[in-house]
Amino acid sequence: MATIELRQVSKRYGQGKASVPVIHSLDAAISDHEFVVVVGPSGCGKSTLLRMVAGLEDISSGEILIGNRVVNRLEPSQRDIAMVFQNYALYPHMSVFENMAYGLKIAKMPSAEIKARVDKAAGILELGGLLQRKPRELSGGQRQRVAMGRAIVREPQVFLFDEPLSNLDAKLRVHTRLEIQKLHRELGITSLFVTHDQVEAMTLAQRMLVLNAGRVEQFGTPEQVYARPASTFVASFIGAPPMNLLRQAPGVPADTILGIRPEHLDMGQGWDLRVEAIELLGAERLLYCRLGPEPLILRIGADQPSPTVGAHIQAQPRAQQVHHFDAATGLRR
Amino acid sequence: MIENRPLLRWASHLVLILGVGIIFFPIYLTFIGSTQSAEQILGSHPLSLMPGGHFIDSYRLALFGGKTTAGASVGAAAPMLLVSLGSALIIAVGKIAISLLSAFAIVFFRFPFKKAVFWMVFITLMLPVEVRIGPTYEVVSQLHLLNSMAGLTIPLIASATATFLFRQFFLTVPNELVEAARMDGAGPMRFFKDVLLPLSGTSIAALFVIQFIYGWNQYLWPLLVTTDESMYPIVMGIKRLISGEVYVEWNLVMATTILAMLPPALVVVLMQKWFVKGLVDAEK
C-alpha cells in the first residue's frame, strides 16, 4: 500500500530563538494510487514539504510515513521513491540510456533487467530513438521526459514532482500535463506534485493541498476547492481571474466578506458598477469595474453586447453562488 | 563589430607577426646554435642565422654524454630528462589528485571548522617553496628523502591554486545533480567517481598542463635536495654546462636546452584543446 502520511510535520530553519518556522505542524494523509497536487504561492513551503518527503531535507519534528513505514531517518534511496526535478537534473556526460539506468546500476541490478526496464519506460514515453543521445542534444520537453523515464524505471511506491513543468513553454506545458495524466492512468503510482500554477493543480489533481505560509488551508478535490473554498486565501488563489472578495458589498454586515466569482455575475438589474477597463480573451470578455470603492471583475461571453469603458452598468450575483467569509479570520462561514 | 578596413587588417597582421617573431626568434637562434660546432659559434660575429652541419653530433653528445672537442667530459642529458619527466608527472598527477579530493570535501560536505580549514588552505598560497625552504629541507633530510624521487616531489605536491580552481568549478555543479545522484542511491565517493570526475575533465586537463610545466621548471628545490648526479633534473643539467667552465660548449648548451623544451611543449600541444575549454567553458 503506497500511502503517504504526514503527522505533525514541522520545519524550522536556524536554531533556538532565531529559528524561522517554515512548516507548522502539518497533518495530511494521501491514499494509495492518489495523485495529490501541493499548490501555493512562492515561499509557502511546498517545495520544502516535498523535499522532506523525499529525504533531501531534515524534519524538525513530526513523522513521515510512506507505505506505513516511518521514513524520517532513511536516505532518499531507501524510501522507495523517485523524484522529477524542475531543472531535469540529468547527468550531462551520460547518454539517455545511462541516465535512466544509473540508479538501477547502483542497486546492482543485472544488466538484462536494466535494459528491459529502460526499454519499457522509453516505450511509454516515446524516447526509443533518443537512447544514445546526450542531454545537451535534446530539447527541453525531451529532457523532461528522460527525467520522468529515470523515475519510472525505479518502479517506486511514490512519485515526487518538483514543479516539473515550470521550465517548459506554454504549449509544451499543456502537452506534458496530458502526458503526466496518461502516465498516472497507466501506472497508477501514488504521486505528490508541487506547483505554484493553479491551472496545473486543477487539471492534474485528484485532490489538492492548498498551502499558505506553511499551513494547510484546504485539502480537497478540485471541485470542492473551487466550489467551496475554505478561506479567502483559497478563494482568491484558485480560479483565474480570482474570486471577487467584497468587504463593503451592499446588504452585507461589516464583519462578513462576500465572495462571488466573475462568471457568476449576470448583467441586468442589481449593483451599480462603473466599467474601468475591458479585456477580450477570445471566447470571453473581462470587465474590470468598481462597486463603490472596491474593484469587481465580471466575465461575460464575447458574443454578448459589451459596454464601453467609463459606462455605468448593473450586475446581479447569482444567489446560489455567493460565498461568505468571516472578515477577521478569513474562514468560510 | 569587426571593421573591414584593409589598412587595419594589414596593421594588425604586422603587429601579430612581429609578436610571434620576437618570441620565436630566441628559440630559432638556440636551434641554429645547436646545429653548429663550438668553434663556429664562437667565431661568428654576429650570430649566424643559418643551420650548421653538426646537428647529429651535438644532439648525440648532449643526450648520451662523452668527450667534447675541447677535451672536457660531459654528462648525459638523457637520464636527467627522465628524472625531470618523472618528477613533473608525479607532481602534476599528485597535485591534481590531492586538490580534487580537498575541493570535493570543502564544497560538498559540512564539517566543524570548515571555514577555518578553507582559509588555511588558501593562506598557503603565501607560502611558496622559496619561503619555507629551511624547515622543509630539514624535514626532508630527517626523513632520509634526500636524493630521491620522493624528496624531489612530495614537498611540492600540495596545491592551494588547484584546490581553489576545483572549488570554483565544483560550485558551478547544480545542486539538483547532487540530489538526483542521492536519490539514485549514489554515496559520496560514487558521486565523485561517476559524476564529478567526468564533468571535471577539462579542468583537470588545464591544470595538468600548468602543474606539469611547474614541476618541469623546478630549479631551487632540486638544487638543494639532490647531490647525486643521477637525480639531477634537466634544468640543473643546463645550468651546470654553463657555470664554472672557462670554455663553454655553447652548441651543447643549445642542444640540451632544445631537448629540455620539447616535453613541456609536447604536453601543451597535446592538451591544448582541453586547456582552453577548461579555462573558458562552463558546461551544464
This prediction has a pTM of 0.81
- Is the bond preceding B135 in cis, omega lying within 30 degrees of 0? no
Same domain, A44 and A129: yes
pLDDT, tens digit, 9 for 90 and up, residues A37-84: 999 998 889 999 999 999 999 999 999 999 889 999 999 989 999 999
Domain that holds residue B93: 79-234+265-280
Q: Are residues B65 and B140 in the same domain?
A: no
pLDDT over 70 for what percent of chain B? 92
Q: Are residues B226 and B252 in the same domain?
A: no
Mutate to test the interface with A, among B169, B179, B184, B190 (most CBs of A within 10 A): B184
| A contact test, residue of B183, B196, B204 with most A CBs within 10 A | B183
In a domain, A245, yes or no: no
- To 10 degrees, what angle do helices B250-280 and B78-108 make? 20
Domain-embedded: residue B241: no
- A229 and A272 share one domain: no
Number of DSSP helices (H) and strands (E) in chain B, helices first: 15, 2
Instruction: Measure CB to CB from residue A87 to each of B174, B194, B198 and give the nearest one.
Output: B174
- The predicted complex's ipTM stands at 0.83
Looking at the domain assignment, is residue A244 inside a domain? Answer: no
Q: Which long-range contacts (CB under 8 A, 24 or more apart) does A224-231 make?
A: A226/A202, A228/A323, A228/A332, A229/A259, A229/A323, A229/A332, A230/A331, A230/A332, A231/A325, A231/A329, A231/A330, A231/A331, A231/A332
pLDDT tens for each residue of B80-127 = 899 999 999 999 999 999 999 999 999 999 899 988 988 888 888 888
- The minimal CB distance from A89 to the residues B180, B186, B190 is found for B180
Q: Would the CB atoms of A56 and B179 count as touching at under 8 Å?
A: yes
Please give the residue range of the domain that contains residue A204.
Answer: 4-234
Pair (A185, A311) in one structural domain:
no
Inside any domain, residue B112: yes
Contact B176 A89 (CB under 8 A): yes
The answer to whether the beta carbons of residues A84 and A164 sit under 8 Å apart is yes
From chain B, the residues in CB contact with A150 under 8 A are 180
A77 contacts chain B (CB < 8 A): yes
Q: Name the one residue in this structure whose C-alpha cell is 626568434.
A: B25
Rounded CA-CA distance B82/B283 in Å is 37
- Residues B46 and B93 placed together within one structural domain of the fold: no
Say whether both B67 and B83 belong to one domain.
no
Burial of residue A115 (CB within 10 Å: 0-12, 13-18, 19+) is middle
Tell me if A313 is assigned to some domain: yes
Does the beta-carbon distance from A92 to B284 stay under 8 Å?
yes
Give the chain A residue nearest B179 (alpha carbons).
A56
* CB within 8 Å: B182 and A75: yes
Domain-embedded: residue A78: yes
CA distance A66 to B49: 82
Q: What is the mean pLDDT of chain A?
A: 91
Same structural domain, B39 and B128: no
* Closest by Cβ to A93, choosing from B185, B190, B198: B198
Provide the β-strand partners of residue A65: A5, A70
Hey, what's the torsion of the CAs at B60, B66, B71, B73, to 10 degrees? 120
As a dihedral over the C-alpha atoms of residue A199, residue A204, residue A205, residue A210, rounded to 10 degrees, the angle is -30
A21-38: pLDDT as tens digits: 899 999 999 999 999 999
Q: How far apart are CA B7 and CA B3, in angstroms?
A: 10
Indicate the number of domains in chain A. 2
Chain A's closest residue to B187, CA to CA, is A106
Q: How far apart are the first and last CA of chain B?
A: 29
Residue in B174, B176, B185 nearest the CB of A77: B185
Q: Is the model's pLDDT at B168 over the cut of 50? A: yes
Domain membership of residue A212 (yes or no) is: yes
DSSP A37: E
Do B89 and B226 share a structural domain?
Answer: yes
Question: Are B40 and B125 in a shared domain?
Answer: no
The full length of chain B comes to 284
Residue type, B152: L
Among the partner-chain residues B180, B181, B185, the one whose CB lies closest to the CB of A107 is B185
